[in-house]
Amino acid sequence: MQSGGDFSNGFHGDHHRELELEDKQVPGLSSFGRAKRRSHAGARDPRGGLANVLRVPDQLGEQKSLETSESPPPPCTDFDVAYFHSYAHVGIHEEMIKDRARTETYREAIMQHQSLIQGKVVVDVGCGTGILSIFCAQAGAKRVYAVDASDIAVQAKEVVKANGLSDKVIVLHGRVEDVEIDEEVDVIISEWMGYMLLYESMLGSVITARDRWLKPGGLILPSHATLYMAPVSHPDRYSHSIDFWRNVYGIDMSAMMQLAKQCAFEEPSVESISGENVLTWPEVVKHIDCKTIKIQELDSVTARYKFNSMMRAPMHGFAFWFDVEFSGPASSPAKNTSETSIASGSSLISPSGEVNQKKRTNPSDALVLSTSPESPPTHWQQTIVYFYDPIDVEQDQVIEGSVTLSQSKENRRFMNIHLEYSSAGRSFVKESVMR
């Protein structure tokens, strides 16, 4: 996942709103964005942009019969092509590989499950430079299909060759929906997570690979994912972006403040915060079991929340982060009735007081990669949805409402965010688009 500096904000002129409500029905989200993040070049012809696709039957000298062919895959849109093309840029892959928490956790997960990988067939969905495919080959995989629709697949093939693994790692240049693999696979591995977990909608490709090729009881890494949210206070950020305009070299520029709020806080901001910024225990927005989730579940995710502030402070917005877990097929998250730290992202108490996430009873049972504020930093950082104006909250004050995350109808890789929140008798709505 690529980050764009300290704060990933921009003014795009869309009419997002943060409105105080007076017993009014909340209207639906109507604004959509244009391709920007990771789309560093214009769209090409969808089919021409995926030239030189290597299909497995071509390599193995086999062809699927027309009688057993699958239904046609969904079309590759111009947005998809621009998205794939952006991943041909080496800087994105450099940033991801240099994220030691990410890369070393994946390598450790592969080695922890070596007994399930050795001598088996693996698919790496969105292989990029091929590093995870090579880790799997080093763990003894019989064969690894490294699939990527970006032109980075050309370099991945050369990387595989340079490491003497061309007999084990087969690089397929194309979409998971389009490439052909004429055998079932034992393992699927993918680093599919976007900002706020679901941004970019790459999980759908993992689900497609699972439904096309994974054997019953096969292994998916990561196996589970959980998105969390919590209210935050961040006065330094607000002062840096907004209060700065009150006095600029002795000049009153407060007339700029309203525009500054629009530019700074209209879109979600990808940045790093600490546990000190978090006002409450987090709540679960979505828990995902990669073995069972359906693509349709990703169209829209809605969760209700109820927080009790642990301190008196200005609340500037909500932070979102996620965990992914690497469990084998015989284990699954178990209920945990105790509160744990924000660092693991697992301290999740529902409004009724019950734990509303399935978690391990023993954290050592499975390997976890966390992007929480108190975990080692990652390139995902945290995603903050800021209010245009802070809300003062007292200790033990209730903050409740709902959040809906939905795929844009125009570009499914964008995410619409609809937040409703109320506290101390005042209700608000914040809508934005993550592009």
| Catalytic site positions | 191, 200
Listed as own residue / partner, the contacts of 55-58 with beta carbons closer than 8 Å and 24 or more positions apart are: 55/172, 55/174, 55/179, 55/180, 56/145, 56/170, 56/172, 56/179, 56/180, 56/181, 56/182, 57/180, 57/182
417: how many CB neighbours lie within 10 A of its CB? 23
> Which residues have C-beta within 8 Å of that of residue 398, sequence separation ≥ 6?
306, 307, 308, 309, 423
Angle at 148 between CA 142 and CA 154, to 5 degrees: 90
> Which residues have C-beta within 8 Å of that of residue 3, sequence separation ≥ 6?
95, 270, 379, 381
> Which residues have C-beta within 8 Å of that of residue 274, sequence separation ≥ 6?
373, 374
CA distance 406 to 416: 5
- Residue 141 phi/psi, 5-degree rounding, is -55, 140
Cis bond upstream, residue 222 (ω within 30): yes
Nearest one of 352, 357, 320, 351 to 335, comparing CA atoms: 357
By the 8 A CB rule, do 173 and 153 touch?
yes
CA distance 224 to 31: 31
CA distance 116 to 329: 9
CA distance 175 to 126: 9
By the 8 A CB rule, do 399 and 425 touch?
no
Q: What is the dihedral of CA 38, 41, 42, 48, to 10 degrees?
A: -100
DSSP letter string over 218-257?
EEEES-EEEEEEEEE--HHHHHHHTGGGG-BTTB--GGGH
